[in-house]
Every structure is written in structure tokens, then in C-alpha cells.
Amino acid sequence: FAEQGFDSDTGDSVEAARLYADTEQYDIICVNQQLKDEPGEAFVGYCNTHERQKDTPILFLTEDADLVAADLNVRVDGVIHELNESQIEDQVVHFIELHLDPVFYEGRILFVEDDDEVAADILGQLKKTGDRVSYFKSADEASAEIDAVTVYGSHTDAYDLVITKIFFKTGMRGDELVARIRSYEDGRGFIPILAIPDQNNDQRRIALYRAGVNDFLPKPILPEELLVRIGNLITNKRLLDKVHDIRRELFALATTDKLTGCQNRHSLMDYSSKFVSQARRHEYPISLLVIDLDHFKAVNDNHGHAVGDKVLELTGELLNKSFRDGDLVARYGGEEFVVLMNYCDGENARVKAEKLRVDIEKLKPNDLDITTSIGVTALEPGATGDFEAMFHAGDQGVYKAKENGRNQVVFVAVD
């Protein structure tokens, strides 16, 4: 399994396997039906009652084509009937992924139904899925719950599925709840919805599809069909969550400077023009800081690049903590950083720059005295100018600060 990226321990007897079980915590245990000294079932029983391994998923390998998990006197989570080496490996890897991949973890379901008898039947079936279920009797209560649970996507507390009827005795209708969910601009707006229609006709189903329902549970409700539809919707949602997570990770890799954690120069160039044009369009002030660490070349020359990297890393960490989420903090290159601040006029920018200058002086990374020269500029409401003009003004501020002795803040207006 090393080729698949898994670490593993191998034993050919129950005695050897017990030693492993006593000292290691495993994600998956694979047991052959017959080991060198005893049947594999004996080791499975040992694991079932072992404090460390009692909840570990167990896969049982057998040559008996008729053997199923229910035939054993111990708890196993899967049975593989040995065929050939490649087929066994494929099935084992699938079992491992099924039990370890977050896509297949328990889901969280929001269930809305005001008929007590129907609710009891469905809740009884939902217990079999192992998913977490929040049950509400009205669409109004369910809507308030969705409002309150602001997390979404692959977050463990996010909802993975909504099951709702359409017509309630009082209050908001189910289609109104669907519309409310679809109105969210964040990931909550994409939660899959399984509807329980009171009228099972084509026109009604098409209208609900258009409203945002993903699937229907026709009456009479078949338990097996309910579980299959729920499983499919949650799995598809989790797979999409996984894709979105990967896209966000790739986006972060493409836009973030690895050393400092700030945005990189490419990201700054991409977003700065939008940043400035929005401020001009909506007529709010925007400010820019150009931050240049003093005598940084001497740090690298005298203390080595590893120390220089540490200085940059801690400076980036300080910058990210010092500004708001809506501000853009970027490493422009080398020892130079740029900060764009929304809703910040020139006077406030000077105050923030001076505080930052003092904080950097106090930072003392690797016990070194590090100072900075900061150029400040701003576009007030109604002013013309673009990012290039702002950067030029901020860069001129840095140049003047260094000419005047460094470790200071200089404001330069945009031409």
C-alpha cells in the first residue's frame, strides 16, 4: 500500500498482530481469514474489545465466496472475497477511501415535516444512515436555523441536505423555504434539497425543480428509496465540496507568498485596479502604504539568508495581523510590502503607518534591530488617479524617508 500513500504494518500471526494493536492506533485493519497460528476471526474479536482499536474499521479477507459479515461472530465492516492480487488491492483501497475520505463521513440533515406520523417514519429511517439530523415542524423554524448556521461547504457543522414537505398547516410554505435557501450568496445557497410533495404531478414537479429543488421523494415513501436518494445527494454534495476546497487551495497557492503569508505580487497586480476603481465609483477614500525594511541587504550579508527569511516571515505575520480582512496586504518583492486600505483617508493612513513603524521596530526578529521606511498616499472621494499613480506616490514617500535617515513615515500626494 506504500504506492497508494499509506503507511502499514504487516503480521502473519494473531500473536504478532496483537502486539501491533497494543502499541499503534490504526485507521483501518485488514485481517485474513486464516493466520499462521489461529483463525483471523480470533484477532478480530480481540480488536472488537480492545480500548485502542474497538472503533477501527475492519476489513475481512476470505476465500469463501459465500461468507458474509453476518455469518461471523465478531464485528467486521467489510468482507473481500479473494480473487487475484490486483482485484484485492483495488477493493482494499476502495474500502480505505470509503472509511477515511471526508466525502463519506456522516452528513448533517435538516428535516422539516409537520405530520407527526410521517416524521416518525422518516426519522426512524434516518437513524440508519448514521447522519446527524435536526428536525423542525415548520418551515419558519427551519429558515431561522439556516440563518443561524452560517458555515457551509465542507465545514463539519454545515448542513449537507434539506428534506422538506411543501405544504404546511401554518406559516411559510416549503417552496418559500427553498427560495429562501437559494437566495443565500454563500455556500448555503447550494445545499441540496429533497422535497416531499403533496401533489405528485408533472407540472408541480417542474415548478419545484425551477424553484431549486434537487430531487423528490414520492409517496408512498419506500424506505430503501429514501436512503438511496439521501446517500446520493449527500455524496454528490460532499464531492462538490471537495472540488471547491481543492480550487480554494490552488487559488491560495497561486495568490499567496509562501514565505510571508501575504498576497503575492501577481495577486496585487490582479486586484489593485479593481480595488481602486470600486473606491472611485462608490466615492469612498482609499489609502496605500509602501513598506520597505531598512538595510535588509546587510541582514542577509551579515547573518545569512535563513535569518533574512525569518525577518520577512515575522514581518509578514505582523502585517497580516495589523490590518482588516477587507484590506489587501501583499509582498511586492524582496523586502518591500504594499498595503491597500479601503475606507481609509490620508490622515488615518498616516496614523496606521506610524503605528506599524513602531510595531516593526519593537518586533526584533532573531534579536535584530529592524526598522522600516514607509511611504503613504491616498485617494480621497472624487479624486482621480489609479493604482500606478498611487504606487508611484507611495514609492516616492519611501525614497524620501530613506533620504531623511530612514525609520520614518512620509506622505506624498497623488499627482
Just list the catalytic residues. 335
C-alpha cell belonging to residue 346: 490620508
The three cell numbers locating residue 191: 445545499
| Distance of alpha carbon 357 from alpha carbon 289, whole angstroms | 11
Distances (CA, A) of 386 to 269, 288, 289, 329: 12, 11, 14, 18
Main-chain phi, psi angles of 194, to 5 degrees: -105, 115
Query: Residue 220's CB: how many other CB atoms inside 10 A?
Result: 5
The one-letter code for the residue type at 121 is D
| Distance between CA atoms of residues 183 and 193, nearest Å | 14
CA–CA separation, 168 and 195 (whole Å): 13
Decide if 405 contacts 372 (C-beta within 8 A): no
Residue 17: is it exposed, middle or buried by C-beta count within 10 angstroms (0-12/13-18/19+)? buried
* Residue indicated by cell numbers 547573518: 303
Torsion sign over Cα 413, 359, 369, 261: negative
3-state helix, strand, coil in the chain (%, to 5): 50, 15, 35
Residue 79: CB atoms within 10 A of its CB come to: 20
Q: What's the CA gap between 114 and 164, in Å, rounded?
A: 10
The span from the CA of 11 to the CA of 23, in Å, is 14
Find out whether 359 and 318 touch, Cβ atoms under 8 Å: yes
Burial class, 58, CB count within 10 angstroms (exposed 0-12 / middle 13-18 / buried 19+): buried
